[in-house]
């Protein structure tokens, strides 16, 4: 824990970018003073300094929506910090997952792949739990693991056929299908997209 | 383009979190004044305000490492902005991909899945191009698409077996293998992880 390299501004603060460690989603921009950084590193939970209340605060202290901090990073100039967190609930006081829930630009491209996978995965878990009528995921879940595994075999076959057809758009479509059903298998086994990241990183980290 | 909702501070600035739109990696924390935001929205390229030089600047103006801006978002309080960008080169003046390349905490967990997939994918493209001796990816690439597609079929089979064995760790391992070989197929077809995100999002967006 080397806070010597952190350059606090004239108010004794440094901006903190809070990022979901699993989905990669940017959740909040907040501020920390030295004490908030120390508490964060010591306790493993997000602490900040509130400029309006002029006080140290622990995220989730009243709401329960704490953030477990997996890693704290510092930028090249030492004047900005990144918390990579595992959030227990929404980051925003409005109840939204992220504070950055308003678009300033007209374009609305798809989110990054990690976030898409995480959202699709959470949707799968919801369908498992709530069993809404007409849900494909709920039906596969009811029909059981063998049925889902057959789909994995089938979708792998469709990826192979699309690739042999040299049809990139068909391939993108079938590859997405395969990944979707793979997420279903992971969900059935109590695994998460994070487990893929863990295994792939262990093998491929630079 | 509604900048009315942006709350600039007493210096006329708002902090900007810059995020790679594909990998989800947080690249930089910088600042923008109203003009920098307007230019960003108008041109589709990252513009900031340099506090040290007291001047508007376009990222990459001298280095060539521009950032195409896919989306601009505003936080709940209106006092922080997010640029989701497609970077053409490193974000950091040190040559690192991200400015947040220093760890303050001891832990070093794996990056989020989206970032891992993007990095593995880029490694695959490098192996294709450089054909280093002893590289598994380079060998599969030389042996051709059919060889890679056989691996997809094989890995799908191994996912099925691991799931039937109810061995979560074996399943995580085989699922990662399947995803890895699927990335190889995408790379052979000129597709990218982003294409998976695009297709999955089109189907599953809330």
Residues A56 and A128 in one domain: no
The CATH number of the domain holding residue B155 is 1.10.287.1080
Residue A184 lies in a domain: yes
pLDDT value for B140: 96
Mean pLDDT of chain A: 94
Residues of chain A contacting B185 with CB distance shorter than 8 Å: 159, 163, 171, 175
In chain B, residues with a C-beta closer than 8 Å to the C-beta of A160 are 149, 152-153
C-beta separation of B56 from B82 below 8 A: no
Confidence of residue A1 (pLDDT cuts 50, 70, 90): low
Q: Look at residue B66 in the predicted model and tell me its pLDDT.
A: 96
Q: Which pLDDT score is estimated for B2?
A: 75
Residues B63, B138, single domain; the answer is: no
Instruction: State residue A11's pLDDT score.
Output: 94
Identify whether A15 is part of a domain. Answer: yes
pLDDT surpasses 70 at B1: no
A141-145, B28-32, B107-111: segment of lowest average pLDDT: B107-111
Q: What is the mean pLDDT of residues B164-178?
A: 97
Shared domain for B82 and B119, answered yes or no, is no
Residue A2's pLDDT band (cuts 50, 70, 90): confident
* ipTM for the assembly: 0.83
Q: A125 and chain B: CB distance < 8 Å anywhere?
A: no
Q: What is the pLDDT of residues B142-161, one digit of tens each?
A: 999 999 999 999 999 999 99
B16 lies within 8 A of chain A by CB: no
In B93-112, the residues whose Cβ lies within 8 Å of chain A are 93-94, 96, 99-112
> Is pLDDT at B175 greater than 70 in this prediction?
yes
Contact: A108, B191; criterion CB under 8 Å: no
Window 162-191 of B, Cβ < 8 Å to A: 163-164, 166, 168, 171-173, 175-176, 178-180, 182, 185-186, 188-191
Percent of chain A with pLDDT over 90: 89
Say whether both B156 and B78 belong to one domain: no
Question: Which one is predicted more confidently, A105 or A49?
Answer: A49
**Which tokens hold the place of B118?**
């993007």
Inter-chain touch A164–B157, beta carbons under 8 Å: no
The predicted pLDDT at position A205 comes to: 80
Q: How many CB pairs (< 8 A) connect A and B?
A: 322
CB A155 within 8 A of CB A108: no
Q: For residue B120, give the nearest of A2, A22, A200 by CB distance.
A: A200
Specify whether B147 is located in the same domain as B193.
yes
pLDDT recorded at residue A17: 98
A177 and A141 co-located in one domain: yes
Q: Convert the pLDDT of each residue in B178-205 to its tens digit.
A: 999 999 999 999 999 999 999 999 998 8
pLDDT in tens, B93-129: 999 999 999 988 876 778 889 889 999 999 999 999 9
Same domain, B22 and B82: yes
Residues above pLDDT 70, as percent of chain B = 99
Do B119 and B111 touch, CB atoms closer than 8 A? Answer: yes
pLDDT on residue B181 = 98
Query: Is residue B152, in this structure, part of any structural domain at all?
Result: yes
Q: Does A15 touch chain B (CB under 8 A)?
A: yes
B104 found inside a domain: no
- pLDDT tens digits, B56-105: 999 999 999 999 999 999 999 999 999 999 999 999 999 999 999 998 88
When CB atoms are compared, the residue of A76, A105, A160 closest to B99 is A76
CA distance A155 to B156: 9
Q: What residues in A contact B118, CB-CB < 8 Å?
A: 113
Which A residues in the span 132-151 are in contact with B, Cβ-Cβ below 8 Å?
A: 145, 149
Q: How many domains does chain A have?
A: 2
Looking at the predicted structure, is the pLDDT value of residue B164 above 70?
A: yes
CATH number at residue A35: 3.10.20.810
Q: What's the domain range around B126?
A: 113-204
**Minimal Cβ distance to A24: which of B6, B37, B115:** B115
- Burial class of residue A103 in the structure, from the number of CB atoms within 10 Å of its CB (0-12 exposed, 13-18 middle, 19+ buried): middle
Same domain, yes or no: B76 and B123: no
Residues from chain B that touch A149, judged by Cβ atoms under 8 A, are 159-160, 163-164
Tokens of B149: 């597609």
Q: Do A82 and B103 touch, CB atoms closer than 8 A?
A: no
Return the residue of A nearest to B23 by Cα: A112
Contacts of B92 in chain A (CB under 8 A): 76
pLDDT, tens only, A173-190: 999 999 999 999 999 999
Chain center to CA of B160: 30
Residues A80 and A126 in one domain: no
- Range of weakest confidence among A103-112, A125-134, B126-135, B183-192: A103-112
How many other CB atoms sit within 10 Å of the CB of residue B43? 13
Q: Is residue A97 part of a domain?
A: no
Mean pLDDT (whole number) for A54-61: 95
Is residue B179 included in any domain, yes or no?
yes
Whether A40 and A120 map to the same domain: the answer is no
**CA nearest to A109, candidates B88, B198, B193:** B198
Residue B98 belongs to some domain of the structure: no
* DSSP designation for B91: S
B97 and B111 in contact (C-beta within 8 Å)? no
- A133 plus A182 within the same structural domain: yes
Q: Is A5 near chain B, with CB under 8 Å?
A: yes
Contact B189 A203 (CB under 8 A): no
Are B9 and B77 contained in the same domain?
A: yes
pLDDT attached to residue B33: 97
Element of type H or E holding A49: strand A47-50
């Amino acid at each position: 824990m080397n806070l010597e390299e952190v350059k606090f501004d004239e108010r004794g603060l440094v901006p903190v970018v809070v990022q979901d460690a699993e989905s990669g989603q940017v959740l909040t921009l907040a501020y920390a003073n030295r004490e908030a950084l120390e508490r964060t590193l010591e306790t493993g939970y997000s602490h900040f300094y509130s400029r309006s209340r002029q006080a140290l605060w622990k995220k989730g202290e009243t709401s329960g929506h704490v953030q477990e901090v997996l890693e704290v990073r510092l930028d090249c100039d030492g004047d900005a910090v990144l918390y990579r967190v595992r959030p227990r609930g929404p980051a925003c006081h409005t109840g939204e997952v992220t504070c950055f829930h308003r678009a300033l630009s007209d374009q609305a491209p798809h989110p990054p792949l990690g976030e898409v996978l995480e959202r699709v995965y959470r949707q799968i878990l919801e369908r498992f739990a709530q069993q809404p009528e007409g849900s494909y995921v709920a039906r596969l879940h009811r029909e059981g693991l063998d049925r889902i595994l057959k789909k994995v075999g089938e979708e792998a076959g469709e990826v192979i056929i699309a690739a042999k057809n040299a049809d990139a758009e068909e391939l993108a479509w079938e590859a997405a299908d395969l990944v979707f059903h793979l997420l279903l298998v992971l969900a059935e086994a109590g695994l998460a997209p994070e487990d893929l990241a863990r295994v792939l990183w262990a093998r491929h980290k630079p």
